Amino acid sequence: MTRAQDNPELAETLRRRRFLGVAAGATAAGLLGTGTAAAAQTGSTTAASARNGRGGPLVPRGHLGIQLYTLRDQVQSIGFARVFEELARYGYDQVEFAGYTQGTGDITLKQLGRLMRDNGLRGIGSHVGYYSDDPKAYTFATNLTQVLDDAEALGLPHVGTASGPWRYGSTVDGWKRCAEEFNTYGAAAKARGMKFYQHNHAEEFSFATDRPDVRLYDVLLAETDPELVHLEMDIYWAYVGQYRFGKRADGSPAPFEPLNYVLRAPHRYPLFHVKDGEHDETATDGYRMVDVGDGDIDYRRFLSAVGRTHGGRRDHHWLVEHDQPADSLTTARRSARYLRSLRCGGRG
């Protein structure tokens, strides 16, 4: 295992972090009603400019992470220690887990925690399955206590699922049942000082089979307690959803803007998956996934708008992901460089 004191470049990265004081740290009207976006803070004084981060980075120090699923090939081939060392060199602050071994064999949570600390990284969240027919499976539905124990052992502030609420089908009532279960998991997580979250794919923005006028994502938002169930918007898949489900089954228009979901309830979105895509009308999804900064999603606009919420505080975490990168370490490096280059009030 390589520690910071054995790697001068890594040691310098960690020294800079300590010096800078890095802290770890639409809806259908009939279902949710309407909301208004938080106004931008535009004060002309120096204090107001500082408060709003004018001229500063759109992704504040301490808030850039990566979903380790992106690097699963490297984790399996060179191990967590070397992957974490590389991530620290690229300027990452956080990692999100997709399983705690990722094919590496036996590794304990204690060892994982130490490897993160050695490299100045923080675990920000973890993806766990929602349910399984196997009563011994490691999911929220079948093993809630163990799931929360493990997240707590790693000091994770968030623990969630990338599974959609499809357990009882694609009807409004089916999603209401899932929402009740999500509320239960959220209450249990909150009791441990953590936040439960759900990560979307494109299909969450489709319509209920029994109510073709109702978008299923709106059911999830309306039926879950906003203090118990949080959301991790996968921005790429949300825009794929915009492309695929911008019309109802009868062909009538049903446009939506993913950013507006966040601006209506920014406190519900502590985490984001940042992945990019080139628009391609020949592709089923309407996009081809590429490294962050190489695609057509306007991340400067998206991050700027979200950054103006909460009175200008930066309470969100931005996690790079690519489902099938050609070279995962290169993707991680290039994506971090691009996001770190984006500045408030600038072109980036």
Instruction: Give the model's pLDDT for residue 106.
Output: 85
Task: Identify whether the C-beta of residue 66 lies closer than 8 Å to the C-beta of residue 332.
Answer: yes
Residue 199 has pLDDT above 90, yes or no: yes
Reported as a single tens digit per residue, the pLDDT across 273-316 is: 999 999 999 999 999 999 999 999 999 999 999 999 866 667 89
Q: What is the pLDDT confidence band of residue 11, given thresholds at 50, 70 and 90?
A: low
Reported as a single tens digit per residue, the pLDDT across 64-115 is: 999 999 999 999 999 999 999 999 999 999 999 999 999 888 899 999 999 9
Instruction: Give the model's pLDDT for residue 55.
Output: 73
Helix, strand or coil for residue 134? coil
In angstroms, the CA 51 to CA 43 distance is: 9
In angstroms, the CA 348 to CA 304 distance is: 11
Residue 343 has pLDDT above 60, yes or no: yes
Reported as a single tens digit per residue, the pLDDT across 220-273 is: 999 999 999 999 999 999 999 999 999 999 999 999 999 999 999 999 999 999
Q: What is the pLDDT confidence band of residue 192, given thresholds at 50, 70 and 90?
A: very high
In which region does residue 154 sit, left (phi positive, over 0), alpha (psi from -120 to 50) or beta (all else)? alpha
Residue 36 has pLDDT above 60, yes or no: no
For 161, the enclosing helix (H) or strand (E) is strand 158-161
Q: What is the pLDDT confidence band of residue 54, given thresholds at 50, 70 and 90?
A: low
* Domains assigned to the chain: 24-341 (3.20.20.150)
Q: For 42, which DSSP code?
A: -
In 163-270, beta strands by DSSP E: 195-199, 229-234
**Cα atoms in the 13 Å half-sphere on the side-chain side of 5:** 0
Query: Which tokens hold the place of 11?
Result: 């040691």
Q: Report the range of poorest mean pLDDT among 12-26, 182-196, 253-267, 293-307.
A: 12-26
In angstroms, the CA 309 to CA 239 distance is: 21
In angstroms, the CA 196 to CA 185 distance is: 7
Instruction: Give the model's pLDDT for residue 312.
Output: 61
Query: Which tokens hold the place of 332?
Result: 């991680």
Reported as a single tens digit per residue, the pLDDT across 123-179 is: 999 999 999 999 999 999 999 999 999 999 999 999 999 999 999 999 999 999 999
Residue 6 has pLDDT above 70, yes or no: no
Residue 29 has pLDDT above 80, yes or no: no
Q: What is the pLDDT confidence band of residue 321, given thresholds at 50, 70 and 90?
A: very high
pTM: 0.85
Per DSSP, the residues of 48-95 read: HHHHTTTTSBSS-TT-EEEEGGGGHHHHHHHHHHHHHHHHHHHT--EE
In angstroms, the CA 88 to CA 267 distance is: 28
